[in-house]
Amino acid sequence: MKIEHSVLVGTLESSDVQITLSNGDGGVEVTLQSDVAAEYGDQITAVVRDVLAEYGIADAAVQVVDKGALDCTIRARMIAAVQRAIDAPHDPKWEVIAHD
Amino acid sequence: MENEIGHNIPDSLLKETGHRPFTGEEIVDTEVHWTGPTVHIGHKHGSKLCASIHDAIVATGLRDGMTISFHHHFREGDHVFGLVMREIMAMGIQDLTLAPSSLTNVMNDVVIDAVRAGTVTRITSSGMRGTLGEFVSHGGMREPVIFRSHGGRARAIEEGDIRIDVAFLGVPSSDEMGNANGTHGKAVFGSLGYALMDARYANQVVLLTDDLVEYPNTPASINETEVDYVVTVPSVGDPDKIGTGATRFTKDPKELKIARMVNAVITGSEQFHDGFSFQTGSGGAALAVNRYLAQSMRDAGITASFALGGITTPTVQLLNEGLVHRILDVQDFDKGSASSMAAEEGQQEIDASWYADPHNRGAVVTNLDVAVLSALEIDTSFNVNVMTGSNGVIRGAIGGHQDAATARLTIISAPLVRGRIATVTSAVDTLVTPGSSVDVLVTEVGVAVNPARPELRERLTGVAGLPLTDIATLRDRALSIVGIPAPIQHGERTVALVEYRDGTLLDVIHDVA
- Pick B419's closest partner by Cβ from A15, A41, A42: A15
The domain spanning residue B477 has which CATH number? 3.40.1080.10
Q: Examine residue B28 and state whether it is found in any structural domain, yes or no.
A: no
In B, minimum Cα distance to A42 occurs at B486
Domains and their CATH numbers in chain A? 7-86 (3.30.230.10)
pLDDT in the model for residue B281: 77
**Inter-helix orientation angle B313-321/B335-343, to 10°:** 40
Query: Phi/psi of residue B157, each to 5°?
Result: -70, -45
What is the spatial distance between Cα B500 and Cα B156, in angstroms, rounded to a whole number? Answer: 11
Residue type, B259: A
Residues forming beta bridges with residue B120, ordered by sequence position: B96
pLDDT in the model for residue B247: 58
- Pick B486's closest partner by Cβ from A15, A42, A71: A42
Are residues B452 and B391 in contact, defined by beta-carbon separation less than 8 angstroms?
no
Nearest of B164, B171, B153 to residue B80 by alpha carbon: B171
Please enumerate in sequence order all residues whose Cβ is within 8 A of that of B83, keeping only pairs 6 or more positions apart, or say none.
Answer: B53, B208, B233
Please enumerate in sequence order all residues whose Cβ is within 8 A of that of B287, keeping only pairs 6 or more positions apart, or say none.
Answer: B247, B249, B250, B280, B312, B314
Please enumerate in sequence order all residues whose Cβ is within 8 A of that of A35, keeping only pairs 6 or more positions apart, or say none.
Answer: A66, A67, A68
Name the more confident of A98 and B58.
B58
Distances (CA, A) of B243 to B156, B198, B311: 28, 22, 11
pLDDT in the model for residue B282: 74
Lowest mean pLDDT: which of A73-87, B133-147, B330-344, B487-501?
B330-344
The residues of B whose Cβ lies within 8 A of any Cβ of A are 390-391, 419-421, 481-483, 485-486, 488-489
pLDDT in tens, B258-298: 999 999 999 999 999 999 999 997 777 788 999 999 999 99
What is the spatial distance between Cα B184 and Cα B207, in angstroms, rounded to a whole number? Answer: 15
- Pick A38's closest partner by Cβ from B391, B481, B483: B391
Q: How far is B486 from chain A (nearest CA, A)?
A: 5
Indicate the SS3 state at residue A14: coil
Residues of B in contact with A40 (CB under 8 A): 420, 482-483, 485-486
Residues of A in contact with B419 (CB under 8 A): 14-15, 36, 67-68
Q: How confident is the model at residue A76 (pLDDT cuts 50, 70, 90)?
A: very high
* Cβ-defined contact of A39 to B390 (cutoff 8 Å): yes
Query: Measured between CB atoms, does A86 come within 8 Å of chain B?
Result: no
Question: What would the mean pLDDT of B477-496 be, rounded to a whole number?
Answer: 95
Q: Examine residue B367 and state whether it is found in any structural domain, yes or no.
A: yes
Q: Examine residue B257 and state whether it is found in any structural domain, yes or no.
A: yes
Q: Examine residue B289 and state whether it is found in any structural domain, yes or no.
A: yes
- Pick B483's closest partner by Cβ from A14, A43, A67: A43
pLDDT in tens, B167-219: 999 999 999 999 999 999 999 999 999 999 999 999 999 999 999 999 999 99
Question: What would the mean pLDDT of B377-398 be, rounded to a whole number?
Answer: 96
pLDDT in tens, B71-113: 999 999 999 999 999 999 999 999 999 999 999 999 999 999 9
Distances (CA, A) of B197 to B60, B70, B163, B221, B477: 19, 11, 11, 11, 44
* Cβ-defined contact of B489 to A67 (cutoff 8 Å): no
Q: How confident is the model at residue B245 (pLDDT cuts 50, 70, 90)?
A: low
pLDDT in the model for residue B11: 86
Q: How confident is the model at residue B44 (pLDDT cuts 50, 70, 90)?
A: low
Q: Examine residue B351 and state whether it is found in any structural domain, yes or no.
A: yes
Q: For chain A, how long is the longest CA-to-CA vector?
A: 36
* Cβ-defined contact of B488 to A38 (cutoff 8 Å): yes
pLDDT in the model for residue B5: 65
Residues 19 to 78 of A: which have CB under 8 A from any B CB? 36, 38-43, 67-71
Are residues B322 and B303 in contact, defined by beta-carbon separation less than 8 angstroms?
yes
Residue type, B437: S
Whether pLDDT at B127 is above 90: yes
Question: What would the mean pLDDT of A61-71 be, rounded to a whole number?
Answer: 97
Whether pLDDT at B423 is above 80: yes
Q: How many CB atoms lie within 10 A of CB B317?
A: 18
Alpha-helical regions (H) of B301-451: 313-321, 335-343, 352-356, 401-404
Question: In this prediction, what percent of chain B has a pLDDT beyond 70?
Answer: 97
Whether pLDDT at B59 is above 60: yes
Nearest of B243, B171, B234 to residue B208 by alpha carbon: B171
Indicate the SS3 state at residue B147: strand
Handedness of CA B86, B88, B92, B93 (dihedral sign): negative
pLDDT in the model for residue B243: 80
Q: How many CB atoms lie within 10 A of CB B238?
A: 16
Handedness of CA B333, B337, B341, B347 (dihedral sign): negative
Classify strands B67-69 and B49-50 as parallel, antiparallel or unpaired.
Answer: unpaired
Q: How confident is the model at residue B154 (pLDDT cuts 50, 70, 90)?
A: very high
Whether pLDDT at B7 is above 80: no
What is the spatial distance between Cα B174 and Cα B191, in angstroms, rounded to a whole number? Answer: 14
Q: Examine residue B233 and state whether it is found in any structural domain, yes or no.
A: no
Which of A13, A15, A34, A40 to substitute to test the interface with B, most B CBs within 10 Å?
Answer: A40
Residues of A in contact with B421 (CB under 8 A): 36, 39, 68
Lowest mean pLDDT: which of B79-88, B143-152, B154-163, B462-471?
B462-471
Are residues A83 and A54 in contact, defined by beta-carbon separation less than 8 angstroms?
no
Q: Examine residue B480 and state whether it is found in any structural domain, yes or no.
A: yes
Rg, C-alpha atoms of chain B: 22
pLDDT in the model for residue B264: 97
Q: How confident is the model at residue B58 (pLDDT cuts 50, 70, 90)?
A: very high
Whether pLDDT at B246 is above 70: no
Whether pLDDT at B43 is above 70: no
Whether pLDDT at B476 is above 60: yes
Q: How confident is the model at residue B244 (pLDDT cuts 50, 70, 90)?
A: low
Q: How confident is the model at residue B462 (pLDDT cuts 50, 70, 90)?
A: confident
What is the spatial distance between Cα B65 and Cα B165, in angstroms, rounded to a whole number? Answer: 10
Question: What would the mean pLDDT of B141-151 be, rounded to a whole number?
Answer: 97
Q: How far is B391 from chain A (nearest CA, A)?
A: 7
Residue type, B286: A
Q: How confident is the model at residue A92 (pLDDT cuts 50, 70, 90)?
A: confident
pLDDT in the model for residue B197: 98
Are residues B48 and B229 in contact, defined by beta-carbon separation less than 8 angstroms?
yes
Could you report the predicted ipTM of this complex, rounded to two decimals?
0.88
* Cβ-defined contact of A70 to B421 (cutoff 8 Å): no
Q: Examine residue B147 and state whether it is found in any structural domain, yes or no.
A: no
Q: How far is A16 from chain B (nearest CA, A)?
A: 9
DSSP string, A28-58: EEEEEEETTHHHHHHHHHHHHHHHHHHTT--
Average pLDDT value over all residues in chain B: 94
Distances (CA, A) of B153 to B74, B95, B164, B199, B496: 18, 21, 12, 14, 16
Nearest of B102, B12, B121 to residue B64 by alpha carbon: B121
* Cβ-defined contact of B419 to A38 (cutoff 8 Å): no
**Residue B260: domain span:** 253-492
Distances (CA, A) of B321 to A72, B273, B287, B317, B428: 49, 18, 16, 6, 41
pLDDT in tens, B208-224: 999 999 999 999 999 99
Total count of domains within chain B: 1
Query: Phi/psi of residue B463, each to 5°?
Result: -70, 130
